[in-house]
Structure 1
């Protein structure tokens, strides 16, 4: 072992929770440029020598008192991200707050950490199970770590704290990490907002769709050329091209575009719907053609399953859907992260092995103030509402202007009205197309064009198409649901600090909690008028799940 007792104790503490990092630091030479001076109160302060100038990393008067002030500025529960470990004086005071669920320390320099471990006792940091130390990791790795471990409804707000001297001396590293964290927090915030609104609805719909999902035995074979219809105004002018190409391609219709296609006597090969809200039923008021498969998210409204006997369910990224697919009946996966049905249809075409995809009625804007193609559900609804004072055009324009922020752009002399969600939908679709290397051919549209990067055309033997179908269920749906409920009820009672609690769980137990996270976000929103702890929230969502499933099985 080591002649230095401080270093030996530090390594033993670090190895207890992170043996891999302990071994890596053990093979690292200490940073020669780091020296130690004594503060006025006698405490050792690390100081970094840069170009013959010595920069202390903490207060040279009373670093302990300096650190004790920080929790007052970062009060309450939360997930704390700290840039730079230094001597830990700015971190250890936070360990007293049991409402802090996680403390993620990001340190750039392993040699600096090794040198500090030789002189400063860091055991309280290393042995606290809430603390995670990442040393010299890439920003993308740190981003994925936060994406995996941070859930705002349970952990609380994410806060960052910088050890300013190290932050300034580290060049661009901490800036790049900080930007990566901002990006991931933006994504988490978007996801959380959706979960607040739909978390309970996803779970309830998925639950009630299980009996029908057990009976579904339909399959769609792989295809090479796919046509996808959105419901944008451009669809009207593109119907002739669509009709001409229809005979030699597989047509996937979004639920919103279905009425417009039927009014033009165009039958799709399949219809896809992803919305969990009852309003989706409006798209089928003109009927669902017989013998055409209806592709539904497991979290779609159960009402839609009554429209036809030809149902194929898919699993999206909703945690309970993924759990069902992994533990009961394997379902095809469709990416719904784009937030719109066109994105999901492209994902389905990719699953089927399409080498060419043509988009119709995909505008991502309101060209000339027009919302949808004729015959879609909004036309029928507004026609029932119009009068001499509020004609159809007025109702449509009011529908556009209800958005908080509207952007006006001109395209070839045509004014397009754009909302922020539309911008997000288009950007996500562009990223998905680029990542998958798909050949996309959007016909001339009135709306804003999709930026499509050129891709190398793949050889047919490089394109793997899969049969779009569910596997055989492991048991009947009631047995699966009973087993799931037993697992949820058998989860250990949550306790503070939650970081310790979750680390003490098995992988299967953590997975069960993850299935309840979206519903937890919705439940927390219900208690927005008062603070609710993570422990209380977990108890509430488990009680809600138990009551819901027990009543359903009774």
Structure 2
């Protein structure tokens, strides 16, 4: 044991004995660590440089400056080499500083190599694993390197941090003043004014089970069973997202309701032929030509998005939850209809089996598998490929599930992302 590890450990043992016990059990020897020299030195972990190698303090000051100076508590996600902690404490910025460990093995290694006593012993500091909290805390700064290096136990919090950091970037295409948005809302106004209100469906399936069907690759495992269930006289209601409609129809499975929200969805995704018995639930950004061609009943709703703010003032329609993906309003529709149990199919938020979607070619509905650079844990606790926006959608669905404890949520597959708050439907899950 190094001298620095003994000194750091003495403070940790005194202040946070449970954290210290967990750190002692971490396997820091498995990290691919190397020293990187510049004007100063830093560590590179698995090819990712932990801090600046030229002026760590200047970098830390820049990072610390993003935090407000009047908050009672500041949150730092990631431990780094202790630079940001020291800057925040020395400058008096932090009345209280909560440090959240994102990679226990990495922090254990840093404790062995460098002195961290100055900030660990500061009475304003609290220390814990990020995974000990169910939700991220504001205001925060997340060390960029450790958003990439977060370990499995802290992956869910990492995903929510990344989503929060990217929120302005993600919302850039939903500026309610954008010409294409204004044009589409004007084009769809006549339909929005005359079609059924989605609120007419609310409460119509009290206490029932509803299947919500996405387009993730795992859906292909369930076509046969879904076809059998669909043929039963007494069965759950089938709600599917727009891109799942064509693959389901091709398998002889007709959903009861299709949900669509995206202005890019075309007749290619929602062929109107033989749709007379299928209800279509849509938001006003949907393509009016697709809506007009639909043979079944149409129901329109809004989302809380600023895109619909003015329209909501002109017309009263039911509101469905938003979370970035069509799966969110589809799930919310099931809940608002009164479902006691919701089973999710093809809601993978990942690329299991190295596929992007069920019933579509790789890359037809978004980024191909080869561009997947991120990961989430699947239902077996193993890493599975994904992308950033899928991780964001996953986090929003988990928040929704947590906010609706009166509904039981089930996942039909273990091969996609593990969804917190769901159990596995043993009749389907593999």
Q: TM-score range by the shorter chain?
A: 0.5 to 0.7
Matches within 5 A, 1:447-462: 447-452=416-421
User: Over aligned residues, Cα RMSD in angstroms?
Assistant: 3.9
Residue 215 (structure 2) pairs with residue 231 (structure 1): yes
Matches within 5 A, 1:265-276: 265-276=252-263
CA shift in 2, pair 1:206/1:318, >3 Å? farther
Distance 2:382 2:163 in 1: 33
Please, which of 167, 170, 186 is the counterpart of residue 207 of structure 1? 186
Distance 2:281 2:226 in 1: 21
Residue 241 (structure 2) pairs with residue 254 (structure 1): yes
Q: CA deviation at 1:340?
A: 1.6
Q: CA deviation at 1:189?
A: 5.2
CA shift in 2, pair 1:191/1:281, >3 Å? farther
Distance 2:255 2:330 in 1: 13
Please, which of 171, 183, 192 is the counterpart of residue 96 of structure 2? 171
Residue 344 (structure 2) pairs with residue 359 (structure 1): yes
Unmatched segments (≥5 aa) in structure 2: 1-60, 76-86, 99-123, 127-135, 142-159, 424-430
Tell me the alpha carbon deviations over residues 74-103 of structure 1, each in whole angstroms, 9 at most, x when there is no partner. 9xxxx99752xxxxxxxxxxxxxxxxxxxx
The corresponding residue for 1:422 is 390
Q: CA deviation at 1:165?
A: 5.6
Distance 1:304 1:197 in 2: 22
Unmatched segments (≥5 aa) in structure 1: 1-72, 84-105, 109-137, 141-160, 383-395, 455-554
Residue 355 (structure 2) pairs with residue 370 (structure 1): yes
The alignment partner of 2:286 has SS state of coil
Distance 1:207 1:166 in 2: 53
Q: CA deviation at 1:314?
A: 1.1
Distance 1:214 1:442 in 2: 36
Distance 2:274 2:248 in 1: 12
Q: What is the TM-score when the length of structure 1 is the normalising length?
A: 0.45
Aligned positions, number: 285
Distance 2:219 2:420 in 1: 19
Distance 1:229 1:315 in 2: 21
The answer to whether the 8 Å contact 1:368/1:414 transfers is no
Please, which of 409, 413, 429 is the counterpart of residue 440 of structure 1? 409
Q: CA deviation at 1:261?
A: 1.0
Q: CA deviation at 1:414?
A: 8.9
Distance 2:210 2:91 in 1: 57
Matches within 5 A, 1:14-413: 82-83=68-69, 106=70, 166-167=92-93, 170-172=95-97, 180-182=138-140, 190-199=166-175, 200=178, 201-217=180-196, 219-220=200-201, 222-223=204-205, 224-246=208-230, 247-276=234-263, 278-285=264-271, 287=273, 289-308=275-294, 310-325=297-312, 327-337=313-323, 339-374=324-359, 376=360, 378=361, 399-403=368-372, 405-407=373-375
Q: CA deviation at 1:251?
A: 0.9
The alignment partner of 1:284 has SS state of coil
Distance 2:322 2:182 in 1: 16
Distance 1:188 1:412 in 2: 27
Matches within 5 A, 1:500-511: none
Distance 1:450 1:346 in 2: 13
The alignment partner of 2:253 has SS state of coil
Q: CA deviation at 1:225?
A: 1.7
The answer to whether the 8 Å contact 2:256/2:277 transfers is no
Q: CA deviation at 1:406?
A: 4.0
CA shift in 2, pair 1:187/1:264, >3 Å? closer
The answer to whether the 8 Å contact 1:316/1:335 transfers is yes
Q: What is the TM-score when the length of structure 2 is the normalising length?
A: 0.56
Q: CA deviation at 1:164?
A: 5.9
The answer to whether the 8 Å contact 2:378/2:417 transfers is no
Which of structures 1 and 2 has the bigger CA Rg? 1
CA shift in 2, pair 1:435/1:410, >3 Å? closer
Tell me the alpha carbon deviations over residues 416-474 of structure 1, each in whole angstroms, 9 at most, x when there is no partner. 422222222222212211111120122234323323267xxxxxxxxxxxxxxxxxxxx
The answer to whether the 8 Å contact 1:316/1:322 transfers is no
The answer to whether the 8 Å contact 1:227/1:360 transfers is yes
Distance 1:402 1:369 in 2: 11
CA shift in 2, pair 1:139/1:287, >3 Å? farther
